[in-house]
Amino acid sequence: MLVCSQCQSENSDTHKFCQVCGTSLTEKSCPNCGASVLLSEEKCSQCGTVTGTILRAIIALHGFEDRLAQKGIPVLQHLDPACRYRVVSGFQTADAGIEGLVLDTRPLQPPLFDEFKPLSQLANPYLHLPELHQILPGVYDTWQQGDQDILLLEERSHLLQLTEFMVQTNDTIPMLQILHWFYEMVDLWELLDPWRMRQSLLTLPNLRLDEDQVLCLQRLYRDPPTELTLKNLGTIWQSLLSHLSQTQSADLHLLLADVLAEAVVTVEDLRSRLKLLAQELQDTPLPAMIMSESSSNSPSESMSELPLPHSDAERQETTTTPLEAEDELDDLPTVVLPMQLFSLDDAGRTDIGRQRNHNEDCFSIDTQVTKTHLPSGKVVQARGLYVLCDGMGGHSSGEVASQLAADTLRTYFQQHWQKATETRSAAKLPPVEVIREAIWLANKAIYDVNQTNARSGSGRMGTTMVMVLLQDTEMAIAHVGDSRLYRYTRKRGLEQLTLDHEVGQREILRGVEPEIAYGRPDAYQLTQALGPRDEHFVQPDVQYFEINEDAVIILASDGLTDNNLLEKHWQTHVDPLVSSHANLDQGVGKLIDLANQHNGHDNITAIAIRAKVRPNLEHLR
């Protein structure tokens, strides 16, 4: 079986092209010169660019020392009897085994293992530490072969080593950024302790930075027989700081001296000391990480809280009340960095689907992006209004309602979204009452047409609506109905930030068990929509969020979200869109194709927004 890389459809091994979308199952285009390259080849024959799927292979040998002494490192051409994985670099000893690089000559074939029952014990920590998604390389394949455990991992040698970054950077690294990395290492130290894998943090070449300067590990290393303590971690910190030529914090060196002298022996003590150091370096108060309409009528100020990975607050549901969120933040150990927008991209598409005879969906994208290049770097300021509507009513009424709502919202915010002025240092998002007023006006516009035309019952047109207002690193979201908004980040994964306005969800909020709530025949009936009734029956949900890490925001009609499609396919269709190298318009097209393949019963509309942020280094100097 071959799985198409474009649409994820299954094809026979004998097919040369995908039977669903026509994509080649044997070749790909070289990203450098465009030449066709066989999927089984390592490099492009025209320009030498690596195009193949290169993996890091780790082999654990039972009786490793004895076998190595007797036979030495085995010379391998392929890892498996089927000759799928071809060795492209010689193996070397590493961590009670050997490791090297291999090429997957059949990358469209499914792997050999079931991720819930791995055949190799080597894969267990990678598969059972979901908190470390993106920090650890992904497991590509794994199996047992005689007296060998074989593990294939995503190759990360292209990621910059942390030590190289410290040496090569032309700018002074803010001390808060260094504290942030150290804080991440403390979190990792605690998470890897039960698995006896803390050595992974004590191997300097293993510490890498991804494209967004997030700390990553190239692989996991087992702990040595001797007991590891925080003193070992302090030694690594001392080595990292030795690569810096800049003036460093005296307080940090005092902390480091205490760690090396074993005056700090618990993770809790070390966290507290790092937190205290970070707070002493701040000259601005901590803002709320997430604000909702009941906690404030305007979003937070320019300082953005960057929560450390794996914290409980990071995994909290978006339905957390403002008071609960505030209580959790009181206990949340964080390092705070001021963030600024680095780039903003967006794309939107709508499709009729495979069973409808007309499209009642509508979307609108209205953005203004300014870029200023200074000696200190690039400054990006942006404002964006994104609206997606899913109309209903039949006989062309649905598309009238969705278009009317989108046009009304766009016109309203052109007049009521204040811009920066000479007396206003920065533009702000509209407060809750302004956003709600806009939505009520859109409802009234549709409602008035229904009243004028004496429409009744199912003849009354209406529409769902989901909307994003974005101002630099802040965004407000609002919705009515069951059109959804998702946020995807590398740390949090995929999150649905809106709650469908439908009978089943209403019953769950009343305390009914989900199985019972969605067992009702009217479970998916909308409880709110724009147009059928006056504004007294429309209560839009409005929330504010801070963009403090690179994110992809997806607005979608139910033609895309039905059957939990995004939840099932986020790894192949959402995760790649975070990268700046990904074409966002093509990515949205792939989402539409995926929905047509699985959900083609309805119209399909999607808007994707990619916001990338960076620490505001000028603010920290």
Count of other CB atoms within 10 angstroms of residue 555 = 28
**Interval 288-306 mean pLDDT:** 33
Residue 327: the pLDDT is 40
**Six-digit token pair at 16?**
């040369």
Tens of pLDDT, residue by residue over 471-513, are 999 999 999 999 999 999 988 889 999 999 999 999 999 999 9
3-class SS of residue 18:
coil
Tens of pLDDT, residue by residue over 173-229, are 778 888 889 999 999 999 999 999 999 999 999 999 987 778 999 999 999 999 999
Buried b / exposed e across 57-81, counting CB within 10 Å, b at 16+?
bbbbbeeeeeebeeeeeeebeebee
Buried b / exposed e across 559-570, counting CB within 10 Å, b at 16+?
bbbbeebbeebb
* Secondary structure letter of residue 331 according to DSSP: T
- Residues 426 and 550 occupy one common structural domain: yes
- Residues 233 and 354 occupy one common structural domain: no
* Lowest-pLDDT choice from 5-14, 527-536, 566-575: 5-14
- Residues 391 and 480 occupy one common structural domain: yes
CB 569 within 8 A of CB 8: yes
- Residues 182 and 275 occupy one common structural domain: yes
pLDDT band at 395 (very low <50, low <70, confident <90, very high): low
**Interval 426-452 mean pLDDT:** 92
CA distance 610 to 469: 14
Determine, yes or no, domain membership for 386: yes
Tens of pLDDT, residue by residue over 109-137, are 988 776 555 567 888 899 888 778 778 99
pLDDT band at 603 (very low <50, low <70, confident <90, very high): very high
- Residues 584 and 451 occupy one common structural domain: yes
| Single-letter residue type at 476 | A
* Secondary structure letter of residue 324 according to DSSP: H
Determine, yes or no, domain membership for 242: yes
Closest CA to 125 of 186, 195, 75: 195
Percent of the chain with pLDDT strictly greater than 90: 54
- Residues 451 and 553 occupy one common structural domain: yes
Q: Has residue 7 got a pLDDT over 90?
A: no
- Residues 247 and 356 occupy one common structural domain: no
Which residues partner with 343 through β-bridges? 612
- Residues 582 and 490 occupy one common structural domain: yes
Residue 193: the pLDDT is 95
Determine, yes or no, domain membership for 45: no
Which residues partner with 349 through β-bridges? 606
Total domain count for the chain? 2
**Interval 220-243 mean pLDDT:** 94
**Interval 371-395 mean pLDDT:** 82
Domain that holds residue 608: 345-372+382-612
CATH number at residue 422: 3.60.40.10
- Domain stops at, among 259, 281, 303: 281
- Residues 276 and 350 occupy one common structural domain: no
- Residues 387 and 275 occupy one common structural domain: no
pLDDT mean across residues, the chain: 83
Determine, yes or no, domain membership for 318: no
**Interval 20-44 mean pLDDT:** 91
**Six-digit token pair at 123?**
């894969």
The pTM assigned to this predicted structure is 0.67
Cα distances (angstroms) measured from residue 428 to each of 267, 300, 469, 536, 613: 40, 9, 10, 28, 18
**Interval 251-263 mean pLDDT:** 93
Determine, yes or no, domain membership for 104: no
pLDDT band at 277 (very low <50, low <70, confident <90, very high): confident
Cβ burial, residue 92 (10 Å; 0-12/13-18/19+): exposed
CA distance 598 to 574: 16
Residue 581: the pLDDT is 80
CA distance 198 to 221: 7
**Interval 39-56 mean pLDDT:** 93
- Residues 564 and 476 occupy one common structural domain: yes
**Interval 524-547 mean pLDDT:** 93
- Domain stops at, among 256, 281, 306: 281
Q: Has residue 323 got a pLDDT over 50?
A: no
Determine, yes or no, domain membership for 86: no
Residue 526: φ, ψ to 5°: -70, 140
Determine, yes or no, domain membership for 39: no
**Six-digit token pair at 585?**
């318009």
Q: Which residue has the higher pLDDT, 73 or 27?
A: 27
Residue 197: the pLDDT is 95
CATH number at residue 276: 1.10.510.10
**Six-digit token pair at 17?**
């092209």
- Residues 548 and 427 occupy one common structural domain: yes
Residue 238: φ, ψ to 5°: -60, -40
Cα distances (angstroms) measured from residue 338 to each of 23, 68, 145, 513: 44, 52, 50, 42
**Range of 22-36, 335-349, 417-431, 606-620 with top mean pLDDT:** 22-36
Tens of pLDDT, residue by residue over 58-105, are 998 776 555 555 566 777 899 888 899 999 988 888 777 889 999 999
CA distance 560 to 567: 11
Residue 128: φ, ψ to 5°: -115, 20
pLDDT band at 301 (very low <50, low <70, confident <90, very high): very low
Q: What angle do CA 170, 176, 181 make, to 5 degrees?
A: 85
Structural element, H or E, at residue 97: strand 97-104
Determine, yes or no, domain membership for 185: yes
Tens of pLDDT, residue by residue over 403-423, are 999 999 999 999 999 765 444
Q: Has residue 297 got a pLDDT over 70?
A: no
3-class SS of residue 3:
strand
- Domain stops at, among 281, 305, 336: 281
Residue 325: the pLDDT is 35
Count of other CB atoms within 10 angstroms of residue 172 = 14
Closest CA to 417 of 425, 407, 428, 432: 428
